[in-house]
Amino acid sequence: MRYIFTALLFWCITANSASAQQIPEKLVTGTYAQTPLTQVLQAWQAQQNVAFYYNPEWTDTVQVAASFTNEPLPQALEQLLKNSGLEFILYDEGSVVILPSRTKLAQQKAKEEAAKAVARKIKVTGTIKDAKTNEAIAGASILLEGTQNGTLSDANGRFSLTIPAGESNLIITYLGYEKDIRNVYSQKDVDLPIGIFTTSEQLKEVKIFGDRAPDQNIESVQSGITKMDIAGFKKIPAFLGEVDVIKGIKLLPGVSSIGEAATGFNVRGGSVDQNLVLLDDAPIFNSSHLFGFFSVFNPNAVSDVTLYRGGIPAQYGGRISSVLDVKQKEGNYKKFAGNGGIGVVSSRMALEGPIIKDKTSFVVAGRASYSDWLLGYMPNISLRNSTASFYDLSAKLTHKINDKNKLSISGYRSRDEFGLAGDTLYNWTSTTGTIKYSRYFTDNLVMDLSGVYSNYDLHYLNQEENNASDYSNGIEYKNIKADFLYTREKHQVNFGASSIKYSFRPGEIKPNSGESQIQPLALPQEQSVETALYLNDEFAISPKVTLMVGLRYSLFANIGAGDVYTYAPDEPKKERTITDTTTYTSGEIIKTYQGLEPRFSLKYSLDDQSSVKLGYNRNRQYVHLISNTASVSPIDIWKTSNTHIAPQIGDQVSLGYFRNFSNNNFETSIEGYYKHISNILDYKDGANLFLNETLEADLLPGKGKAYGLEVALNKKSGIVSGWMSYTYARTMISVNGNAPSEKINDGNYYPASFDKPHTFNFVGSYQVRKRIVWSANFTYSTGRAITAPTSYYIIDGHFVPNYGERNQYRIPDYHRLDLSLAIYTNYKRDKKWEGNWNISVYNVYSRKNPYSVFFKHSYGSPARMQKLSVVGVPLPSVSYDFRF
């Protein structure tokens, strides 16, 4: 009852405080040394005829020390309660209330509120944008200061992060941009638009991250992933003044090519067609201009590039080696701007700006070459008498319907022409288009609905009088897909579905003059449909362990119209006779394949500076590039899986150790991998791949194994920066059919044509002065495998080589040094014009690296190896890049 009365008295303090000061004076005498307060109050209550009201929970632990001689009661109470955290109220002449002081109550209340705030969580959402252009930035890192709690912005720049209520700091980082720290003080959910500025140092350092945040190579769960901003490519010495995405990719660990003028690239022992190359979600079926001298990507139109060579998320499918995901930039939402470059063989230009300020933007970019003069300096006589040119155009329109809805449309078109020695003309075109609608249902759930189109078309014109003809082939791709991203605390879930329609044009030839002896022939077109469902979840099991698990289900159908041949079963494949033909009508299912594609990645943090990652991927590939040349050429054809050609299946396991030093300025890693490939295709000796109606009779399925080790060191910033890597990689193939003609090398494993065991790459940059930077790159690799003649015989005076086992010899090793000097103007945020010069020399010490070899016989002498070098001389260049 006393406690209730105390509470009532507490609420009546203000009303009765005036009368409380009029009580009669009571005098206190006594000495106390560490005496319990309750004991003193009880004694005074008896002596002074005063009732003390208090809560024992407030007084039981309080001890007092004081001495009084005829001290008035108010003064005695004041001295007694000093430093006790308690105070008193003289309610009336016979009543005193003891209670916590107002200061202590306020402190306690604040403490309780703070505890509640810490326990309560709020959600911070927002959009990361370029502060100048208002363009959304994908892949920016948002980290809660002092914790490991963070996230990355999605493709639309959006992010969502759960943090404690109250006051917190968010750290925003992105390659090429200044670090931004945002203070958040809120007791409820908040949405933050965040604009970040490009750093004035972005052109002075070579920067290459495993992800966007400074320590994401340690913290990200995926191994074998590299993200590069276009600024990272600009510090690699340019080939003839052209910043090249593909050439930059080839300098990364685990990536190689067979040599100069080689289309495409090889990743972890995979062939060129086993890489999925995407431009705004649209596949590029030939990623090079001029037979590999330039990539199809205009650097002025590209925002960032991601290469997945291991740990491929489930949202990607259709290839078994890697995914190269290239994103085109969005236009400037605030003002008109432009950038471009002028080089010795090509020039480029990009314009961007708002259509409706802060709501609708556009960007258009173009590039064209004038490279015929260059071929005159090539050592090969056929190249010197040839002509070459290319152009590409790209555009992107982005409209923000409102805060929850966004629409973007992008397109790309390129054309190459190459005239070989005056009588043969190649021309090929690539066309893509993507329309994407993004919808934010909630801060946790985002949908991207996309329609994608891609078409690759080749024409080969033979201008010889008797053989004048036009040959063509190609592939068309149509895709509709829905991708969803759901985020919640410790989980990031991607799920979705897609349906792809392929149309294959395997080849057609027709005469193009009245004197031509070529007979028209058109192979029937082929159709296929690939449908997939996927689910991918990345979540933290504990502060040290993060797991990404994914499952993809794919269903592939080869559909009519078409004919399927049945061969005599006991005959060698090349000599099989056709015993029956089954005809399928349009849309009728000819053959189906299906299967699950599980993936997982596991990251274990050893400490703040190191981690170990384990990954496994299964991928199915239903389309095949058929070629019997070491390098991809434009006349190679894309072929569907069908009754006689099964899909390739790749299973890869990887294990890596990652370690950072010096506040994440130095990154080191070592990764090992093993890959098994089923149904890999090779061709029979003497195979005919040109306009072959029974092409499957010349193709042999086999199995492959690829394994290797990748070691990398990266210094990300400073006066001296760059990276180096060493890769040991082997790719072995076994073709062991039932008949002797269906075996290669007696069924034993043999190296693939792109097998190059040792590769070393170095890229370095030295900042001489504030605006002067030297850069260099050096590359070395083992020569690729070839098939060489071991003997020869003579028929009517002609030497006929007799070749040994396939790919048992190698061309000489490859090595090359490039140098460049970059001179930059002063960089300011408000500068209207920025320009820089780049002076570079490709192949500084004139290495005549062999692209291929051939063997020439002289009568009475053994065959002698002759080397074909595409670029055997130093190639200097000067380019000027500008921005306004």
Q: What is the pLDDT of residue 209?
A: 38
With CA atoms as reference, report the closest residue to 219 among 136, 142, 138, 323: 142
Statement: residue 3 has pLDDT above 50: no
Cβ count within 10 A of residue 877: 20
Q: Measured in whole angstroms, how far is the alpha carbon of residue 614 from the centre of its chain?
A: 18
Q: What is the pLDDT of residue 8?
A: 43
Higher pLDDT pick, 130 / 642: 642
Residues 6+ apart with CB under 8 A from 259: 631, 784, 814, 849, 850, 851, 852, 870
Statement: residue 344 has pLDDT above 90: no
Please provide residue 236's backbone torsions phi and psi, each rounded to the nearest 5 degrees: -80, 130
Q: What is the pLDDT of residue 203?
A: 38
Statement: residue 829 has pLDDT above 80: no
Q: Are the C-beta atoms of residues 686 and 654 closer than 8 Å to each other? A: no
Model pLDDT for residues 489-521, shown as the tens digit of each residue? 778 899 999 999 999 999 899 988 878 888 899
Q: Where are the domains of the chain?
A: 2-107, 120-199, 225-883
Residue carrying the six token digits 């930039």: 329
Higher pLDDT pick, 95 / 316: 316
How far is the C-alpha of 21 from the C-alpha of 788, rounded, in Å?
115
Higher pLDDT pick, 113 / 369: 369
Confidence of residue 604 (pLDDT cuts 50, 70, 90): very high
Statement: residue 624 has pLDDT above 90: yes
Residues 6+ apart with CB under 8 A from 482: 447, 448, 449, 450, 496, 497, 498
Higher pLDDT pick, 452 / 837: 452
How far is the C-alpha of 124 from the C-alpha of 642, rounded, in Å?
51
Q: What is the pLDDT of residue 501?
A: 97
How far is the C-alpha of 559 from the C-alpha of 591, rounded, in Å?
7
Q: What is the pLDDT of residue 849?
A: 83
Cβ count within 10 A of residue 8: 11
Q: Are the C-beta atoms of residues 834 and 884 closer than 8 Å to each other? A: yes
Statement: residue 594 has pLDDT above 90: yes
Model pLDDT for residues 693-710, shown as the tens digit of each residue? 888 888 889 999 999 999
Q: What is the pLDDT of residue 865?
A: 61
Model pLDDT for residues 237-282, shown as the tens digit of each residue? 666 667 778 888 888 888 888 777 677 888 998 888 999 999 999 9
Both tokens of 757, joined, read 């065991």
**Secondary structure of 372-415 in HEC code, one letter for each residue:** HHHHCCCCCHHHHCCEEEEEEEEEEEEEEEECCEEEEEEEEEEE
- 264-282 exposure pattern, b = at least 16 Cβ within 10 A, e = fewer: bbbbbbbbbbbbbbbbbbb
Higher pLDDT pick, 217 / 543: 543
Confidence of residue 5 (pLDDT cuts 50, 70, 90): very low
Higher pLDDT pick, 649 / 302: 649
Q: What is the pLDDT of residue 789?
A: 77
Confidence of residue 377 (pLDDT cuts 50, 70, 90): low
Highest mean pLDDT pick, 126-140, 174-188, 294-308, 517-531: 517-531
430-439, 711-720, 783-792: range with lowest mean pLDDT: 783-792
- The CA angle 873-876-881, to the nearest 5 degrees, is 150
Q: What is the pLDDT of residue 399?
A: 94
How far is the C-alpha of 650 from the C-alpha of 314, rounded, in Å?
14
With CA atoms as reference, report the closest residue to 420 among 386, 452, 456: 386
Confidence of residue 231 (pLDDT cuts 50, 70, 90): low
Both tokens of 169, joined, read 């700091």
Q: What is the pLDDT of residue 113?
A: 57
CATH superfamily of 225-883: TonB-dependent receptor, beta-barrel domain (2.40.170.20)
- CATH 2.60.40.10 matches 120-199: no
Model pLDDT for residues 167-185, shown as the tens digit of each residue? 788 888 776 677 788 887 7
Beta bridge partners of 856: 864
Q: What is the pLDDT of residue 210?
A: 39
Residue 507 Rama label (left phi>0; alpha psi -120 to 50; beta) = left
Q: What is the pLDDT of residue 570?
A: 62
Both tokens of 97, joined, read 């209330």
Statement: residue 37 has pLDDT above 60: yes
Higher pLDDT pick, 88 / 119: 88
Higher pLDDT pick, 704 / 122: 704
How far is the C-alpha of 364 from the C-alpha of 602, rounded, in Å?
41
Residue carrying the six token digits 């509709």: 480
Statement: residue 877 has pLDDT above 50: yes
Q: What is the average pLDDT score of the chain?
A: 82
How far is the C-alpha of 594 from the C-alpha of 76, rounded, in Å?
91
Higher pLDDT pick, 198 / 722: 722
With CA atoms as reference, report the closest residue to 167 among 150, 190, 151, 148: 190
> Is 305 strand, coil or helix?
strand
Q: What is the pLDDT of residue 680?
A: 92
With CA atoms as reference, report the closest residue to 240 among 347, 374, 344: 344
Query: In sequence order, what DSSP letters do the residues of 150-206 get, joined into one string?
Result: EEE--TTSEEEEEEESEEEEEEEE-TTB--EEEEEEESS-EEEEEEEPBPTTTTTS-
Model pLDDT for residues 736-750, shown as the tens digit of each residue? 988 787 889 988 999
Model pLDDT for residues 453-473, shown as the tens digit of each residue? 999 998 888 888 788 888 899
Q: What is the β-pairing status of strands 610-621 and 589-607?
A: antiparallel
The CATH number of 2-107 is 3.55.50.30
39-43, 284-288, 799-803: range with lowest mean pLDDT: 799-803
Statement: residue 232 has pLDDT above 70: no
